[in-house]
């Protein structure tokens, strides 16, 4: 009975707003050239798409990874450069909107 109810909740149609990431942060990683991203997890998300680009241009976004956790460490970034980051929640029905874009200067 509980399994059936859970499946009903999981399979209901979800609006794009229910997949919106409301908070994202970037912190210097433990190693030079790393940044730790953290964001609010979404109940109806199956996975998250992570992208970055160089500086303020906000073009030529690079796909970093598609994961199922609400945190990620990006490695291999060039020190003394500023990067922009964004994340999007995804489920079997649709993709949510991109999070706000945040910037971080890598040490």
Report the alpha-carbon distance of residue 20 to residue 90 in Å, rounded: 10
Question: CB of 9 within 8 A of CB of 86?
Answer: no
In this prediction, residue 57 carries a pLDDT of 66
What's the first-to-final CA gap in the chain, in angstroms?
Answer: 53
Pairing of strands 102-105, 71-74: unpaired
In this prediction, residue 16 carries a pLDDT of 67
The structure tokens listed for 41 are 């997890």
The structure tokens listed for 77 are 């970034």
In this prediction, residue 2 carries a pLDDT of 42
In this prediction, residue 77 carries a pLDDT of 96
pTM score above 0.95: no
In this prediction, residue 3 carries a pLDDT of 41
3-state secondary structure of 84: strand
Question: CB of 89 within 8 A of CB of 96?
Answer: yes
In this prediction, residue 85 carries a pLDDT of 96
Residues of the chain with pLDDT under 70: 1-13, 16, 56-58
In this prediction, residue 26 carries a pLDDT of 97
């Amino acid at each position: 009975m509980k399994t059936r109810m859970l499946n009903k909740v999981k399979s209901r149609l979800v609006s794009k707003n229910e997949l919106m990431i409301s908070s994202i942060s970037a912190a210097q990683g433990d190693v030079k050239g790393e940044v730790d991203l953290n964001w609010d997890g979404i109940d109806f998300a199956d996975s998250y798409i992570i992208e970055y680009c160089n500086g303020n241009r906000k073009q030529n976004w690079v796909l970093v990874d598609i994961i199922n956790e609400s945190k990620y460490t990006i490695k291999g970034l060039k020190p003394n450069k500023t990067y922009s980051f964004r994340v999007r929640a995804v489920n079997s029905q649709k993709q949510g909107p991109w999070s706000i874009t945040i910037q971080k200067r890598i040490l």
